[in-house]
Structure 1
């Protein structure tokens, strides 16, 4: 326990300052930096060594022990143990950091296999994507996104699987696999969402497919958007934060008319959307799809990130990749480079209403 070195130091101080102390406690002080090296790291070891040294000086002065061999032997032992503890603690910290960095690289590589970058051009759209991992250890998040050009138009998905780790990554892979397959064959956008939900239900039904916490509490928020040839965007929202539409310098959330539960919680309601909701999406407009890690990012004062204001401030000037990078920098400034949750975003601009190129040509490019 981290407090043990300080408890030992306090016990030594109390015993030594007792008028009739019953034991010579000087050697016990060497345990203070030694234990701190194991539990508190290099800085904690240094602080514990300084504390032990200060207590040695105080007790030697109080007991009038200066000039005795015991005092100088105690100081020498304390110095040797402190130096050895600091070196050992530093080496342990560096080794743990290397191991953590390696695990993070493996986790990021695994996630990049599942999440591929969005093409810069999709029919009448310019597009960009961004995925940021939270700075909390090596946990792999459950954020997902994809954009595909089909014969029905450009179809996009953004979602967030509850939980972390490999079970969340597996759920992401299942949902994206169902989406990538269904978007090319299902003309009904609601049915595309239903295919994703069905795929997740099938996977959960397999014994040992997910962790126990996912089996009992798991759900996935998801938003599917479709941009056809017409100047509109169609949305199916299942418990996900509404996208932002930037139109003539003003950003507005596209709120669903009928709130629907996330995937995996369909049994809680009786009415689900039967058709997508349609909103104007004209040339010059900008649409931002994102996960809740963006709007729930907090600063040190506990204030949420003001996404609408940030989007309006940046406007439609920067291209989608540059826009998302600027948004990334704004998030870093707000949180002090300490994101508490993963972030995934897709940004698309509608710059014309010309017929889309064939799906095979766009996907090949």
Structure 2
């Protein structure tokens, strides 16, 4: 549509500079700034008006028509249509700008509400939890009001230190609601359930109950709703016990080398239990000795890309950070490396817990 005014101007120029100039082109030429005002805004209208003026001068000179009533009538018509088009285009543009500003204010308000709700639900983990020194980090992606559903928590219990990291499928307030449900179930179950698998089952059951309530979640979450989750337990023994439900594996930094703790049998996320009948009864154990570092994170970390499409190298970055840093310092350096890699453009929310075994 934007090229139509210029095609008309070209057609008028061809007619006026060929033997077909006996055709009266005044109405065609006045349509150029009028159409530009509708489709191209104030700048396009100005360009179209200047173009039609240049064509009128050129054709009047070429056809030796100066001094005729037709030429001056065409100039007057072009001037009136151009001014009217510019005024109308300015009014439309101003109205669009006001509408965009209103929508941006509404979007900013929704995002502030969502971020505030997220900050209430997620809280920094304690710096000391029994045999573990810990730190946490949560970063929101720059995606308008689409606040993500990353979750984390670390609690000291009579069974040891229990931690969870998860990611709700979906965005916005409904995802934060799912985060609150999962974390509420976790925070209660960790103190009463002997078995780590039962803690995970309590979280899954809470999400199923919430989805079953009419209107509990937005349609997006009802259709796509599931939660990847990883629960870790650090007992008195030099091991870490894990149950992984479709979540990225944690990284264990031991003697300067970062190794992913891959599950022996992949399991579906919470909410997709129907995909398997073989859910675990016992967690998987991995060596976790004093001096080791354990990083639990969401997929926003490993899926972060740079402008060339390369993923963020988390293990290599961990190995390059000095061993004498505290968990908050370690996470801050990891954060800065992530920001440098993505040039500050995070496509997804990020949540991390670092646990040092002492």
Q: TM-score, normalised by structure 1?
A: 0.83
Does the CA contact (< 8 Å) of 2:197 and 2:282 recur in 1?
yes
- Go from structure 1 to structure 2 and tell me whether the alpha carbon gap of 1:145 and 1:75 turns closer, same or farther (over 3 Å shift): same
| 1:232-252 Cα deviation digits (max 9, x unpaired) | 211110010000111111111
CA–CA separation in structure 1 for the residues paired with 2:98 and 2:196 = 56
- Kindly indicate whether residue 55 of structure 2 is the aligned counterpart of residue 59 of structure 1: yes
Report the equivalent of 2:65. none
- Kindly indicate whether residue 147 of structure 2 is the aligned counterpart of residue 144 of structure 1: no
- Kindly indicate whether residue 298 of structure 2 is the aligned counterpart of residue 305 of structure 1: no
Does the CA contact (< 8 Å) of 1:146 and 1:157 recur in 2?
yes
Does the CA contact (< 8 Å) of 1:12 and 1:29 recur in 2?
no
Report the equivalent of 1:173. 180
* Structure 2 residue corresponding to 1:207, chosen from 214, 217, 225: 214
* Structure 2 residue corresponding to 1:109, chosen from 113, 116, 121: 116
Does the CA contact (< 8 Å) of 2:29 and 2:52 recur in 1?
no
Report the equivalent of 1:40. none
CA–CA separation in structure 1 for the residues paired with 2:111 and 2:40 = 27
Report the equivalent of 2:253. 246
Which structure: larger Rg? 2
The number of equivalent residue pairs is 339
| Post-superposition offset of 1:336 | 2.5
Does the CA contact (< 8 Å) of 2:33 and 2:82 recur in 1?
no
* Structure 1 residue corresponding to 2:132, chosen from 109, 117, 125: 125
User: What stretches of structure 2 of length at least 5 have no aligned partner?
Assistant: 16-22, 62-70
| 1:165-185 Cα deviation digits (max 9, x unpaired) | 232222111111110000000
Report the equivalent of 1:16. 12
- Go from structure 1 to structure 2 and tell me whether the alpha carbon gap of 1:88 and 1:214 turns closer, same or farther (over 3 Å shift): closer
CA–CA separation in structure 1 for the residues paired with 2:5 and 2:338 = 43
Spell out the pairing of 1:219-238 with structure 2 (5 A cutoff). 219-238=226-245
Does the CA contact (< 8 Å) of 1:53 and 1:78 recur in 2?
no
- Go from structure 1 to structure 2 and tell me whether the alpha carbon gap of 1:61 and 1:278 turns closer, same or farther (over 3 Å shift): farther
- Does the residue aligned with 2:353 lie in a helix, a strand or coil? strand
Q: TM-score, normalised by structure 2?
A: 0.85
| Post-superposition offset of 1:186 | 0.6
Report the equivalent of 2:33. 29
| Post-superposition offset of 1:14 | 4.3
| Post-superposition offset of 1:73 | 4.3
- Does the residue aligned with 1:64 lie in a helix, a strand or coil? helix
* Structure 1 residue corresponding to 2:205, chosen from 180, 183, 198: 198
Deviates more, 1:229-238 or 1:23-32: 23-32
Does the CA contact (< 8 Å) of 2:125 and 2:135 recur in 1?
yes
Report the equivalent of 1:325. 332
| Post-superposition offset of 1:30 | 4.8
CA–CA separation in structure 2 for the residues paired with 1:222 and 1:342 = 15
| Post-superposition offset of 1:306 | 1.2
- Does the residue aligned with 1:13 lie in a helix, a strand or coil? helix
- Go from structure 1 to structure 2 and tell me whether the alpha carbon gap of 1:237 and 1:95 turns closer, same or farther (over 3 Å shift): same
- Kindly indicate whether residue 266 of structure 2 is the aligned counterpart of residue 270 of structure 1: no
CA–CA separation in structure 1 for the residues paired with 2:38 and 2:88 = 6
Does the CA contact (< 8 Å) of 2:32 and 2:49 recur in 1?
no
Does the CA contact (< 8 Å) of 1:289 and 1:345 recur in 2?
yes
Deviates more, 1:267-276 or 1:322-331: 322-331
CA–CA separation in structure 2 for the residues paired with 1:323 and 1:73 = 68
User: What stretches of structure 1 of length at least 5 have no aligned partner?
Assistant: 38-44, 353-365
Report the equivalent of 1:159. 166
- Go from structure 1 to structure 2 and tell me whether the alpha carbon gap of 1:101 and 1:210 turns closer, same or farther (over 3 Å shift): closer
